[in-house]
Structure 1
């Protein structure tokens, strides 16, 4: 086997997601397994180049993992001919400028979502990549996770029949930051910095619904800021003016209806931080990030409404666990492997920049729906 090295500039690697999921659990994990074997037998070896603003943090990460390359200059990283891919996990407000620079330098681009703060910017960067002849991809990690992969198996295998509806619950209580440190960075709650749960999470709902069932054709959303005051990383109070919760109804192509609640101001009473219940003519399923349970029509119980007597049914116990039937790799790593194979070997990769633009479009239309208090159609993206 021959080995081919591919340089990857990673911006935002000092952040939690960029470091844990993309560097350690994806690219370094690919190296630990001996590289990525391509269809022709070539072994692809990712060579990370860390990019960020803090030299001290970059130096420490590089030393911790035995990496040689890091820089505080994006221009320097993009000028390196050995760097073929640019990856972005920065704050959303800094993303488009960096992606445009990488494309202008002839680099393939892979980025966290949301792709941009507006649909116009998202479409512009997708068109720029097309004109430059470079490949682009957007992280859409949730559909690579075990729970949703098992849910897809049920849907594609016909176990649920015609899908009627989807109910999704996502969220957890993010501490305000005064008496306990917040679990999320403060920029998430400032509109001027690109914060807000709609822009953060609706791109996920876009590709999940499209990938599992059908594209979204209309949205009605109510977005709110439940907690208007929070405290930042330095313990200073600030005005949280970005939406921290959203309640939405999506109509899907083909007639199915999805209802998804998204909140950073909710306490968890469910098995996982996100769960989707899909009801169909032949059965129903409930999927989280890792687990999935199913109930077929032939074994569906016959509940009877009687509020005057104690409930004698164990509703959760009436569902069957969907078996793994395989080993599931880290979802971020699985998608990294697909994207790198796409770049080098030209294998299919559906999670392109226009797919990312559809997620931004849904977020933008949901915010319009919330402002105007009405249902909004989701048109096809312009070419």
Structure 2
């Protein structure tokens, strides 16, 4: 039986996320497994095309991974009628123009986020996707992680009763680059280059909150730059003009109409004292759960201990031992790979992916409003979005 092949142009594949998560841990395993199995039992194969600005690096990666095609000409590959899907992992400032060109050329698109630097650009992209009718998908990787899959299952099963709150902690120490090399590129810390942890992470927190709890109604945030001077890839000191930490409080309404308070701290200037780099704790009237990237533990109301506050005596209760692991009850693969497989099935079926460009626009909106809240020192409401922009504006 002849197997259909989808040709996928990967722009920005020499970057950290494009290479590690999307090429090495997603598309290459899919290719090497014989493609994606469809609902009818047949398969569709994938053929990556590497796109970037550094020819030597692209040629090296192509040879290393047995990839036939690579190019530094993004416009040419977008215009190529033999290319089915365009994927974008470039810096945010170059993304809107590339996504626009790809959709106008009839390409299905899958993209990293933020999709744009401004809300107006992000909404315009969403509107264009409606006009062109191509299948579009935005990377919402955290919702596919084993820990959050288990957490969402607990929500769906009514484990928590009435959900009261969510607390999230994300971050790690990113070295300044002076003595030890930084783990993140220097542009992340320059506002003029699109950097900043609020812009980077609030788009994630929007889809996590939407995917686990409900609609985000307001945000109260404080963004700050804890480390004012860093060193770039050439060893030169530069001023960090973008925020490296953001502390947010979000009011969320569940589908059932309950109000939930969510607090999420994001920092590239924090040392890790938790089991994973990101953890979310959800508390409800009937139980609580803590989820990381892979693990999720829970504690039912009937199994909740009754601690007594006494600062004069050392704590002897083994609090962590009183929680139970939530089983996977299934094969939970790499989150990026799972979403790629779902998106490819949607492309073949001719349907829209469940996480499209409007979801991405709401993430850009939350980042903008978070920075506004930080600047103005107040709670900012999150108005509904339409394809025409902010409702009522």
Does residue 336 of structure 1 match 2:332? no
Partner of 1:41: 41
CA distance in 2, matches of 1:248, 1:133: 36
Residues 252-297 of structure 1 show CA distances to partners (whole Å, capped at 9, x for unaligned) of 0131000000000000000000000100010000000010110000
Contact 1:175 1:183 in 2 (8 A): yes
Aligned length: 383
Gaps in structure 1 of 5+ consecutive residues: none
Does residue 310 of structure 1 match 2:314? yes
Contact 2:135 2:351 in 1 (8 A): no
Q: 2:353 aligns with which of 349, 352, 356?
A: 349
Residues 314-341 of structure 1 show CA distances to partners (whole Å, capped at 9, x for unaligned) of 1111111112222211100100011111
Partner of 1:111: 111
Partner of 1:220: 220
Question: Runs of 4 or more off by more than 3 Å in structure 1?
Answer: none
CA distance in 2, matches of 1:159, 1:347: 32
Contact 1:216 1:378 in 2 (8 A): yes
CA distance in 1, matches of 2:114, 2:94: 11
Residues 35-62 of structure 1 show CA distances to partners (whole Å, capped at 9, x for unaligned) of 1121233311111111100100000000
| TM-score normalised over the length of structure 2 | 0.96
| TM-score normalised over the length of structure 1 | 0.98
CA distance in 2, matches of 1:180, 1:377: 41
Q: Which stretch shows the higher mean deviation, 103-112 or 343-352?
A: 343-352
CA distance in 1, matches of 2:294, 2:211: 17
How far the C-alpha of 1:201 sits from its partner, in A, is 0.4
Partner of 1:125: 125
Partner of 2:91: 91
Q: Which stretch shows the higher mean deviation, 206-215 or 347-356?
A: 347-356
Residues 63-120 of structure 1 show CA distances to partners (whole Å, capped at 9, x for unaligned) of 0111111000011111211101100001111111111111121111110011111110
Instruction: Give RMSD over aligned pairs.
Output: 1.0
Contact 1:189 1:241 in 2 (8 A): yes
Contact 1:2 1:43 in 2 (8 A): no
Partner of 1:363: 367
Contact 1:38 1:345 in 2 (8 A): no
How far the C-alpha of 1:348 sits from its partner, in A, is 5.5
Q: 1:103 to 1:347 in 2, by over 3 A?
A: closer
CA distance in 1, matches of 2:239, 2:148: 36
Partner of 2:391: none
Does residue 71 of structure 1 match 2:68? no
Contact 1:162 1:282 in 2 (8 A): yes
Partner of 2:20: 20
CA distance in 1, matches of 2:108, 2:181: 37
How far the C-alpha of 1:346 sits from its partner, in A, is 3.1
Does residue 194 of structure 1 match 2:194? yes
How far the C-alpha of 1:250 sits from its partner, in A, is 0.2
Q: 1:351 to 1:125 in 2, by over 3 A?
A: same
Q: Which stretch shows the higher mean deviation, 96-105 or 252-261?
A: 96-105
CA distance in 2, matches of 1:135, 1:294: 37
CA distance in 1, matches of 2:5, 2:341: 14
Partner of 2:173: 173
Matches of residues 178-327 of structure 1 in structure 2 within 5 Å? 178-253=178-253, 254-327=258-331
CA distance in 2, matches of 1:342, 1:325: 25
CA distance in 1, matches of 2:331, 2:133: 36
Contact 1:62 1:68 in 2 (8 A): yes
CA distance in 2, matches of 1:305, 1:149: 34
SS of aligned partner of 1:34: coil
SS of aligned partner of 1:53: coil
